[in-house]
Structure 1
Amino acid sequence: MSDIEEKKNSFMTNVHPILSGDVMSARIENVRSQLEWEPSSEKSGWENFVDSFTRVHVEEIDPNLTAAEKIAIKTARSPLKRRLKNRHLQMIAIGGAIGTGLFVGSGSSLRHSGPAGVLIGYFISATFILCVVCGLGELAVEFPVSGGFTTFATRFIDESFGFAANWNYLLGCVCTLPLEMVSASITVNYWGTPKKYRDAFIALFYVVIMGINLFGVKGYGEAEFLFSAIKVTCVIGFIILGIILVCGGGPNGKYIGGTMWKSPNGAFVGENGAQRFKTIMSVFVSAAFAYSGVEMTGLAAAETANPRKSIPSAAKQVFWRIAIFYIVALTLVGLLVSHKDPRLIGTSSADAAASPFVIAIVSHGIKGLPSVVNVVICVAVLSVGNADIFGASRIMVAMVEMGHMPKWTNLDYVDKRGRPLVALGVMAVFGAIAFIAASPKEGEVFTWLLALSGLSALFTWFGIALSHIRFRAALKAQGRGIDELCFASPTGIYGSYYACILIAIIIGLTFWTSLWPYKTAPNATDFFESYLSAPIFIVMYFGHKIYRRSWRLFTPPTEVDIDTGRRETDIEQLKIDIAQEKAEIAAKPFYLRMYKTLC
């Protein structure tokens, strides 16, 4: 099938079934010509450049349709370009999840909970993230629509839940962008850079990140691929080096083994079981901040060339790669660095000198490498900031299409190159908050930005898992089955139930540890620094309920739209194709079948 035919068929799935005949053909040709926009040979280079910023026109929706139908159609026919490949998709997810949370933030977790507490918190988080990512993969393959997972909550759960979840995630992205740029500027302090030059570095990082996103989705994908390759190489190199150091192969020649887990350091922080439990619970918030970004595969689905092929493998492989990088790397960190090391305190949560990776290398007499790790930390924070701009700009487009933002904001403006220009402009304005780096109030601003984004990922993952549960319920209620799915989640609906229950428990227990923190008396500052995202979510959810006067908890499964936006519209042919693919896999050797199942 040619690219033109594929895009034509794709567009046919993005319009309402009431359209047919000449009206359907005219609209297909209109959108196809815009999707196929290329510089004209009859215009000068400057004229083509200016023309590329022209808005793609998409016809208005039939006003007689219901709100749910309008949302489904608008998000399905978004003019965003589909230029991301499988390698881009995998690296985008990895790039969004390997940043300061691993390289720097893990040091704070180690100091507060000990090496065993860190592993318990990050491992349990990894188990429910597997379920979330697999459920997201199933939904994203079936519905590669604008906004990705941010639209699923509105469609499959309830519009009020989707409104609250989307604003919560957007606030997290908006706050994380200046947070990451400030982190990068603090990182350069490792080399003794005077603080008066902090704004100059902020300006440099700001221009680089915004410039990448102005190149469109393909430029973003290539940049993220490069950033992530650097980070992955660094983590693998540290794992190899860490194993050598633990076994006594370092310059000091001293065998380390598990000495850091024994007295007087110990594997946990706390004098009794209750205190240790609280310290472990504090790790879950840090782990959520560190792992946030794995959901980017679902957000990028609308701009992926072949989601049916690339998203399933990306969903499964991303989990294994991140779990291995985090669990193995943090195990080695716990063996090489004492949780009582005063250097773990640092001057801020972005202080590269407080990175346990840097401390581990420095403590064992290796020179030169700490500077390399710090360069990678700079790349990591830029990568995460880059992903935030990409994610937030796409969410803004989807939120206008869903009616969660006013139409007059023009945030759904997408040009002929597939760039959401107005949304990128808004992110540029919020990114300018990073210039407080040279202000004496930097620490306070940094802390509250972190508070706004702290639990954001947990609410997002809960919404994804619940959306998967509601989608399966809608399939069953409408007499459909999972045999028509291009990709069924390996963890199934029970995995999504497990993720929802565990996330709800973590959010509840985080309330307890935030209200009665370890070692300090209850106080408002500590509570809101840890739990600010939760009351914001609650206020937005009930505020939308009151505004819409809609009191039902869930959209009835018989009313859920499970067809609009699907790329595969011939269900019977799809079933035949899936059965053939399963037969081909079954005929392969055991090790290949196992690899296909897991990866």
Structure 2
Amino acid sequence: MKLINIIPMHLFLQSTHATFLPKDDLPNIPKDVHVFFPDDRINWTRCNLGIDEYKKYQKAFECGNLTVPLDYTDKSSKNTTTLNLIKLRATKTPFKGSIIVNPGGPGASALDAVLTQGQDMANITGGFYHIIGFDPRGTGKTMVPLGDEGFPGQMIEELFYTFQNSSYFITQQLLSDALDYTRTITESFVAKDADLRKFRGTAFVARDIAEIAMALGEGNSINYWGTSYGTVLGQVLASMFPDRIERMLLDSNLLADDYVNNLALNSTKDAEKALYHFYDECMAAKNDSCLSANKLSKGPDDFLKVLNHVFMEIGDWASPWNPQSDLAHLAIWCSDANVRAETIEEINSLYESGQANNNPFFTPTLLQRSACFQWNTHAAEPINLTSLERVETKNPILLVNGEYDPVTPLDHAWKISARFPGSRVVVHEGVGHCFRAHPSSCTREIVARYFIDGKLPPAEATCKPDVDAFEIVEIIREERAKDAGNHKIPMSADVLAGGKANPSMGVETRNDNNGDLVTATEEQSLQRGLHERHLSMLGIAGAIGTGLFLGLGQSVQTGGPLGALLGYATVGLVVCAVQFALGEVAALLPVTGAFVRHAEFLVDPAWGFAIGWNLVYGNILSIPSEITAICVLFEFWTDINPSLWIMIFIVLTTVVGLCFVRVFGEVEFWFALLKILLVVFLIILGLVINLGGVPGTERIGFRYWKDPGPFVEYIATGSWGQFLGYWSVMTSAVFSFAGVESIAMAAAETRNPARAIPKACKNVFIRILIFYILAILIVGMLVRSDDERLNDQSGAAGQSPFVIAASAAGIPAIPSVVNAVVITSAWSASNQSLLAGTRVLYGLALKRQAPQIFLRTTAWGVPYVCVLFFTCFMFLSFMSLSNGAMTVFWWLVDLTAAGVLISWASILLNHIRLRLAMKKQGIPVESLPWHNSWTFYSSCAGLFMTLLILLTGGFRVFTRGNWDPVGFVSSYLDIPLVTAAYLIWKFVKKTKVVPLAEIPLQDAFRKSEEDHEVVTA
């Protein structure tokens, strides 16, 4: 990776070659030259460019040809030329049209650019557009300069070598050599290319774009994305066809007036500011990210010399498809330019005018441009500067410009914007040339919103890059090494923006001193395969498990029938607050990672980091615990070595996790349905037994509420002991309800998440609450709280209060039925943990809070590296083969219970912060896609209860005679772990709590309004 690739000033050439002719002597050409070719005249076929380097990735593209007039100034002429085009198809509906791309130069091929960068452009624009590239006249295979006769390559190489090895200050000998070389170059062009060179000007290329738009069958609409020189082309295009401009993005802008004189005196006037900024970045870079740092010990002046030395080394857009880029560059640029110099004296005059501006890059600029000083041909249609003084386009254009761009100063963007009423400028606070060179999710989001819905950013919008300048070096090195190994197209911009196929961001990314606040919709890497019915069942599948079938007995034993009922009811109300809070926030921000991503957006990026890794850690432990439970349950039937069952369920869990998410949804749907049927059956069975419906049994009623009583004295005696018995139920109730919050984890894989998630939250809450409250009520009626069978530590079905009641009623088949369904419940819970954990890990990787390898997905959209990572920890299940290890393992399971409360607290805090931010910014509650008038208050009460249960969950160890180090650690270790993760990330990244007024809610609501209508509960 070369230093210049980061600044990157090799694009100085690319950006400084679009020029204008004087106002006089303009031909009389109608504004819209008539199109004499029928519409829809491009025959698209799969690309076969015949170049080995392109074979691996050209299959995703279509190629075609378009015949256009050779000379637009002669309406009677039938002479034509053929443009080569490439198309990357839109992937989403509604289809919004085609974006025609020009990457700059002049001399760069847009066919090359779309082939190598088109996917990133499609990702930014959301997949709603075709991305179209073409070879402008003189590039690729279109009107190749000098045809196949070649060019005096040695001469141009000597010229460029002379420039490259020149000193920082120009000399008369250097000017004389340059004049001799350029005279020879010009004579060669005139002799061999006389018939075509006047037809390669920028104005004709603009008319070609208009022809392409018509040929695409899109009527009078033109969507355009121009970079560097492409912004000059864009200005000309807009001035010629203002009524046809639908969308136009100009990135890294060049002002026409500065370009007309061919010297770029103003183009590089801000170079020194950018240079010193870059110098500081280079000297601070770690390792060898900035290779020139060791040459700069004497200061910025040495830096200038280094850059002047390498300046010419990189100015080349040659590729297998476009090998004559240098020739195309001269052919187009010199035809557009108007400054000429025949003698050393004339060049000296130009040199002195540049030196007067103290421009550090003027010397190499002058030497570069000397190639056109003796060019004796102008473009057939010069650029009309008068028409560029004020242009009223059909729709406003968007300009993006780097603050530290040494080639295209920010001042140019403001001046161009002043000439295009209604346009907006985005200040991209990055180094390099073009905003994708130093990526910012904020800038990408603004561009996405502009193309997708035509909405412009606020005036004077500013975006910071996602990473420091030289962090990019290592990222690109890694990605290029990976691409080289896989023989893939380099996609550095994709990786920097968040993955292999990162889409337009769903919510604006802001980056203040507190770090990046990114909330994204992953619409292409992850596939939307979950339906609303899947979501509802996912919540149920995660919450109905061993806690319901085996854990209710312990609650009745420690709290009594009424104490257990009140305990579950209390936690049930907290779950209600959690579910409705999650539903409101997730409806507005439906992203993978759910409340983890919400936390960094609404609270503090460091808090999102801590919560995310806490969830990953908890789910990593929960999967082997469920597989261990399966082994224990199988021992109810057979003595087969449990290692066999462990291996079987590790493989099954991994396979389901690697399947398309809809397969996962279907598996969990039927498991959840099976569990619901069992719960309903057990509740009905319990009522039948309680009412004496089994032959040979008598009615029980509320007998056990009287003897031994509704409450159990726990640890202490009297009312205080009964209260502690009630309070001891809280932790087990939380563990039983754990999982209901996971339904929003796969938001990016859910169809219509803004409507599906709230509805699922409400339905899951109602169903779970009914199941648990009814179940605990029935259990308290069926089994005495002092029944010795509740002390069974086998973990098998015999411990279930339903089994105890069925056995007492003489129904022998029930234990096996319950055991079978509990096995499916345990496996279902492991699948649920795998889904939640892998999607959280994927979300962390998107934020660069986890290794980027976790962003890799299968062709059907499953983050397979995340799944395989979790699989490694499933082998902890083999610890259960040792009795001692089994004890430790269940301690680890208990350890995760506190994490559930921390997750609930975060969900409630996110919702409270959202509501407070809305109030601060004057946004009515009714603007939420899903809202309820009482949820703010329920969230506050729920947060209080959640923290209270978290802090008092291990109260038993603080009572006299009950100190237990293991119990203390299992109850409270998660608190310091999460706190440490939060503080470490906060210290390292220097984050801060996001001020309520700075949470970018307006863009979140705008995105929400596009996707769905507002609904109420």
* TM-score interval, smaller chain: 0.7 to 0.9
Q: Which amino acid letter does the alignment assign opposite residue 781 of structure 2?
A: L
Structure 1 contact 122–327 (Cα < 8 Å) conserved = yes
Deviation of 1:92 (Å)? 0.3
Aligned to 1:555: 994
Q: Which letter maps to 2:996?
A: P
Match of 1:59 among 494, 505, 516: 494
Cα deviations by residue, 1:372-424 (Å, 9 ceiling, x for unpaired)? 111110011111000001111101111112232243xx112222211111110
* Contact 1:151–1:398, Cα closer than 8 Å, also in 2: yes
**Is 1:515 aligned to 2:515, yes or no?**
no
Give the Cα separation in 2 of the matches to 1:509 and 1:212: 38
Q: 2 CA distance for matches of 1:389 and 1:165? A: 17
| 2:941 aligned partner | 498
Partner of 1:255: 699
Query: What amino acid is aligned across from residue 372 of structure 1 in structure 2?
Result: V
Q: Whole-Å Cα distance in 2 between the matches of residues 331 and 459 of structure 1?
A: 28
Please state which structure has a larger fraction of its residues in helix. Answer: 1
Task: Give 1:409-448 correspondences, 5 Å limit.
Answer: 410-448=853-891
Q: What CA RMSD, in Å, does the superposition of the two structures yield over aligned residues?
A: 3.1
Q: Name 1:106's counterpart in structure 2.
A: 552
Could you tell me which residue of structure 2 aligns to residue 377 of structure 1? Answer: 822
Matches within 5 A, 1:398-477: 398-407=843-852, 410-477=853-920
Relative distance call for 1:238 and 1:70 in structure 2 (3 A) is same
Separation (CA, whole Å) in 1 of partners of 2:490 and 2:808? 56
- TM norm structure 1: 0.83
Q: Which of 540, 562, 567 does residue 94 from structure 1 map onto?
A: 540
Give the 3 Å change call, closer, same or farther, for CA 255–398 of structure 1 in structure 2. same
Q: What amino acid is aligned across from residue 92 of structure 2 in structure 1?
A: I
Asked if 2 retains the 8 angstrom alpha-carbon contact of 1:75 and 1:147, the reply is: no
* 1:451/1:533 contact within 8 Å kept: no
Structure 1 pair 62/267, CA: closer, same or farther in 2 (3 Å)?
closer
Separation in 1, partners of 2:719, 2:779: 24
The offset of 1:281, in angstroms, is 2.1
Offset, 1:549: 4.0
* 1:144-167 CA distance string (max 9 Å, x none): 112112111111111222222222
> Secondary structure of 2:525's partner?
coil
- Specify the alignment match of 1:239 in structure 2: 683
For the residues of structure 1 that align with 2:1005 and 2:664, how far apart are their CA atoms? 25
Instruction: Name the structure 1 match of 2:971.
Output: 530
Distance change (3 Å), C-alpha of 1:311 and 1:3: farther
Contact 2:612 2:841 in 1 (8 A): no
Q: Please list every run of 5 or more consecutive structure 2 residues that lacks an aligned counterpart in the other structure.
A: 1-89, 97-124, 129-440, 454-485, 499-508
**Residues 1:200 and 2:200 aligned together:** no
Residue 729 (structure 2) pairs with residue 283 (structure 1): yes
Q: Do the aligned partners of 1:11 and 1:77 also contact (CA within 8 Å) in 2?
A: no
Aligned residues: 542
Question: Counterpart of 1:42?
Answer: none
TM-score, L = length of structure 2: 0.50
Q: More displaced, 398-407 or 376-385?
A: 398-407
Where 1:5 maps in the other structure, the secondary structure is coil
* Contact 2:519–2:601 (8 Å) recurs in 1: no
Matches of 1:212 and 1:299, distance apart in 2: 17
Asked if 1:356 corresponds to 2:356, the answer is: no
Aligned-partner SS, 1:416: coil
Q: Relative to 1, partners in 2 of residues 1:469 and 1:290: Cα closer, same or farther, differing over 3 Å?
A: same
Q: 1:70, CA displacement in angstroms? A: 5.0
Change (3 A) 1:558 1:21: closer
Q: 1:405 to 1:78 in 2, by over 3 A?
A: farther
Say which is worse superposed, 88-97 or 210-219, in terms of deviation. 210-219
Residues 57 and 457 of structure 1: CA distance in aligned 2, closer, same or farther (over 3 Å):
farther
Q: Deviations over 1:14-64 (max 9, x none)?
A: 984432699989xxxxxxxxxxxxxxxxxxxxxxxxx9xx99997245799
Counterpart CA distance in 2 for 1:374 and 1:362 is 14
Shift in Å, 1:489? 3.8
User: Which residue pairs with 1:303 in the alignment?
Assistant: 749
Aligned to 2:929: 486
Residue 213, structure 1, aligned to residue 657, structure 2: yes
Q: Is the 8 A contact 1:144 1:566 kept in 2?
A: no
Q: 1:337 aligns with which of 776, 783, 786?
A: 783
Q: Output the CA distance in 2 between the equivalents of 1:287 and 1:228.
A: 20
Residues 379-388 or 334-343, more deviating: 334-343
Q: Could you list the runs of 5+ residues in structure 1 that have no partner in the other structure?
A: 26-50, 583-596
Which segment is superposed worse, 445-454 or 460-469? 445-454
1-structure distance, mates of 2:950, 2:897: 11
Whether the 8 Å contact between 2:515 and 2:989 is mirrored in structure 1 is no
* Code of the aligned partner of 1:288: V
1:225 CA displacement: 0.1
Q: CA deviation at 1:131?
A: 1.2
Q: Which letter maps to 2:998?
A: E
1:455-474 CA distances to partner (integer Å, 9 max, x unpaired)?
Answer: 11111011001001111122
- Partner of 1:542 in structure 2? 983
Deviation (angstroms), 1:265:
5.3
Partner of 2:573: 127
1:72 partner SS:
strand
**C-alpha deviation, 1:312, in angstroms:** 2.1
Greater relative contact order (Cα < 8 A, sep 6+): 1
SS at match of 1:382: helix
2: CA distance between counterparts of 1:164 and 1:376? 35
Corresponding residue SS for 1:66:
strand
CA separation of 1:547/1:323 partners in 2, compared to 1, >3 Å: closer, same or farther? same
State how far apart, in whole Å, the 2-side matches of 1:356 and 1:153 are.
40
1:568 CA displacement = 3.9
| Greater shift in the superposed pair: 159-168 or 54-63 | 54-63
Could you tell me which residue of structure 2 aligns to residue 588 of structure 1? none
Q: Does residue 156 of structure 1 match 2:584?
A: no
Change (3 A) 1:522 1:289: same
Q: Which residue of 2 aligns with 1:29?
A: none
Change over 3 Å in CA distance of 1:60–1:525 after alignment to 2 = closer
1:321 — aligned with what?
A: 767
Give the partner amino acid of 2:929.
C
Within 2, Cα distance between the matches of 1:58 and 1:326?
50
The Cα of 1:320 is off from its aligned counterpart by: 0.7
Return the alpha-carbon distance in structure 2 between the equivalents of residues 451 and 480 of structure 1: 42
2:623 and 2:657 map into 1 onto residues whose CA distance is 13
Instruction: Give 1:172 deviation, angstroms.
Output: 1.2
Q: SS at the partner of 1:59?
A: helix
Q: SS at the partner of 2:721?
A: helix
Q: 1:78 to 1:489 in 2, by over 3 A?
A: farther
Seq. identity, %: 31
C-alpha separation in 1, matches of 2:578 and 2:1004: 21
* Aligned: 1:226 with 2:649: no
Report if aligned partners of 1:451, 1:532 keep a CA contact under 8 Å in 2. no
Deviations 1:301-343 (A, max 9, x none): 2211112332222111111100010010111111111122222
1:258-314 Cα distance to aligned partner (Å, 9 max, x none): 111223355323332222222222211111111111112221222111123322221
> Do the aligned partners of 1:56 and 1:415 also contact (CA within 8 Å) in 2?
no
Q: As a proportion of its length, which structure holds more strand?
A: 2
Q: Contact between 1:15 and 1:73, CA under 8 Å: does it hold in 2?
A: no
SS in 2 for 1:455: helix
Could you tell me how far apart the structure 2 residues matched to 1:86 and 1:7 are?
26
